[in-house]
């Protein structure tokens, strides 16, 4: 039975029987998603090796990390919309194949320029892959199963960010030699090929959405806005915030133009890149995007601060530095899986509980790092990082579930892409801001690493407090929508006053 999507005016998707291979398909997509998200952070520990191996300067090699993050963020919303229109299975397979190909090219790169170009292309492929994950969950699962699936997705998201330095350190330790860094990229190839073959077998074929209009102008406006925000941030280490500050007002103008253009597209009954009405007609969507963006400012940025402190300040190896923050990853993984089962019953209160634990864990971590002797700092932060990790597992996945809860399946790709775009922007802001605070404090207090890391972690804690305030406000609002049915794809059961 086909129905009409009341929020967008488009035909909805069938609510037919659930695919019997949906859980196997989910695990394959999660493995692919883990690889693409891991590559955001795994390369950071290999930068010194890459610099020595290719004989390049620090500013140039920094683009191996920054370029990936930049194109990743640019691709999310357009790729999500293409997945909605062309079919998520097709987009997933295409993006995964491209990711594997460019991973191999990055590993074999003979020069820094080739490596940077490969990483830019790899980031585009990863950005095209990411929104298909959340959209496929929307498509394949319903009700409590969907919450459990998002719980696993959240675990992958949290673990991939936290264990990147650990995995990178292990690979470098095992590979050794001047070219050991190449295995940071080569490791994606066999895993990606197996995932590609399994995905082709397990992900079900579905009818594509309408393809009559591709919003090229909307794509250009949004892409320009994301580029204008991210470019000064990814260039922050080389003075980008000072040189390129003027891009921030340009980004604001482009966002305004994008919103006006998307509203015009809706008025003329054309397919928009991102239906702006999702921000006003779907309960929890706008606040969920805001919460995710703010949370990722502290969540993503703090890992580089930890790496700088443990490796530069205390002389840890990359592997030892990664192991010091492992409790967060373990706590996040365990609680995210449990959270997927709890979110259907607790709703937004689970996100609030998680944020409280993250604030508590980070605050104690900052105090401990300021006071603990250098020799025992890694062990001393294990308990508070474990608490923060448990809380983190109750933030990302439940927030994704609640943010997309009333989004029509027909718009799941673009809506999920917008959510992840906010997270990528938050991660870029956090990385630039927290490392800037760390270095500023370090230079201002006579190279006191303990005080520098404490101040930076304190700033991350304050950012998480802001996310907690947003979560509490949304929790109170969500109680008014507690009686609404979850979106299952048709959209016609959402009351008219929400449109």
Residue 493, pLDDT score? 36
Residue 455, pLDDT score? 92
Fold for 22-206+271-484, please state it.
Answer: Growth Hormone; Chain: A; (1.20.1250)
Residue by residue, pLDDT tens for the chain (499 residues) are: 333 443 433 333 444 577 788 899 999 999 988 888 888 778 877 777 888 888 887 667 778 877 887 788 778 878 887 887 788 889 999 999 999 999 999 999 999 889 999 999 999 999 899 888 888 888 888 877 887 787 788 777 767 766 777 788 788 888 877 788 899 999 999 999 999 999 999 988 765 555 556 677 888 888 888 888 877 876 766 677 788 889 889 989 998 998 888 888 878 777 777 777 777 777 778 888 889 889 988 877 788 788 888 888 888 877 788 788 889 888 887 887 787 678 777 888 899 999 999 999 999 999 999 988 877 888 999 999 999 999 988 888 788 878 877 777 767 777 777 787 788 778 778 877 888 888 888 887 778 888 999 999 999 999 999 999 999 988 887 666 555 554 444 333 333 333 3
Torsion of CA 261, 267, 272, 278, to 10 degrees: 100
- Cα separation, 238 vs 257, in Å, equals 30
Residue 238, pLDDT score? 67
């Amino acid at each position: 039975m086909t129905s009409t999507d009341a929020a967008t005016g488009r035909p909805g998707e069938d609510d037919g029987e659930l695919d019997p291979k949906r859980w196997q398909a989910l695990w394959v997509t999660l493995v692919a998603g883990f690889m693409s998200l891991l590559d955001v952070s795994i390369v950071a520990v290999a930068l010194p090796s890459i610099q020595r191996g290719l004989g390049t300067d620090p500013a140039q090699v920094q683009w191996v990390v920054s370029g990936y993050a930049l194109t990743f963020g640019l691709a999310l919303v357009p790729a999500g919309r293409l997945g909605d229109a062309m079919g998520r299975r097709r987009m997933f397979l295409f993006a995964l194949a491209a990711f594997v190909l460019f991973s191999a090219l990055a590993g074999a790169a003979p020069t820094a320029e080739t490596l940077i170009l490969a990483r830019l292309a790899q980031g585009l492929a990863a950005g095209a892959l990411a929104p298909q994950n959340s959209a496929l969950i929307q498509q394949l699962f319903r009700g409590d199963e969907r919450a459990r699936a998002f719980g696993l997705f959240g675990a992958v998201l949290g673990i991939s960010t936290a264990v990147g330095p650990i995995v990178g350190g292990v690979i470098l330790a095992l590979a050794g030699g001047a070219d050991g860094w190449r295995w940071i990229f080569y490791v994606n190839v066999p895993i990606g090929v197996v995932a590609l073959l399994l995905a082709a077998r397990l992900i079900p074929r579905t009818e594509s959405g309408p393809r009559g209009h591709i919003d090229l102008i909307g794509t250009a406006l949004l892409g320009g806005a994301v580029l204008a925000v991210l470019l000064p941030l990814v260039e922050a280490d080389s003075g980008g915030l000072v040189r390129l500050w003027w891009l921030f007002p340009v980004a604001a103008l482009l966002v305004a133009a994008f919103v006006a253009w998307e509203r015009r597209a809706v008025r003329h009954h054309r397919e928009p890149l991102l239906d702006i009405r999702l921000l006003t007609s779907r309960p929890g969507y706008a606040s969920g995007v805001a919460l995710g963006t703010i949370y990722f400012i502290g969540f993503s940025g703090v890992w580089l601060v930890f790496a700088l402190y443990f490796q530069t300040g205390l002389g840890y190896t990359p592997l030892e530095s990664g192991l010091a923050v492992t409790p967060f990853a373990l706590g996040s993984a365990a609680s995210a899986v449990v959270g997927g089962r709890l979110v259907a019953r607790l709703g937004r209160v689970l996100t609030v509980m998680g944020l409280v634990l993250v604030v508590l864990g980070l605050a104690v971590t900052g105090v401990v790092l300021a006071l603990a002797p250098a020799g025992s700092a890694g062990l001393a932060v294990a308990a508070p990082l474990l608490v923060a990790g448990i809380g983190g597992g109750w933030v990302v996945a439940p927030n994704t579930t609640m943010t997309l809860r009333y989004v029509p399946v027909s718009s799941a790709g673009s809506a999920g892409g917008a959510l992840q775009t906010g997270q990528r922007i938050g991660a870029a802001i956090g990385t630039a801001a927290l490392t800037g605070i760390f270095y500023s404090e370090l230079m201002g207090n006579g190279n006191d690493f303990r005080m520098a890391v404490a101040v930076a972690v304190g700033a991350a804690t304050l950012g998480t407090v802001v996310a907690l305030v947003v979560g509490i406000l949304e929790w109170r609002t969500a109680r008014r929508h507690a009686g609404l049915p979850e979106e299952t794809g048709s959209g016609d059961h959402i009351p008219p006053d929400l449109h």
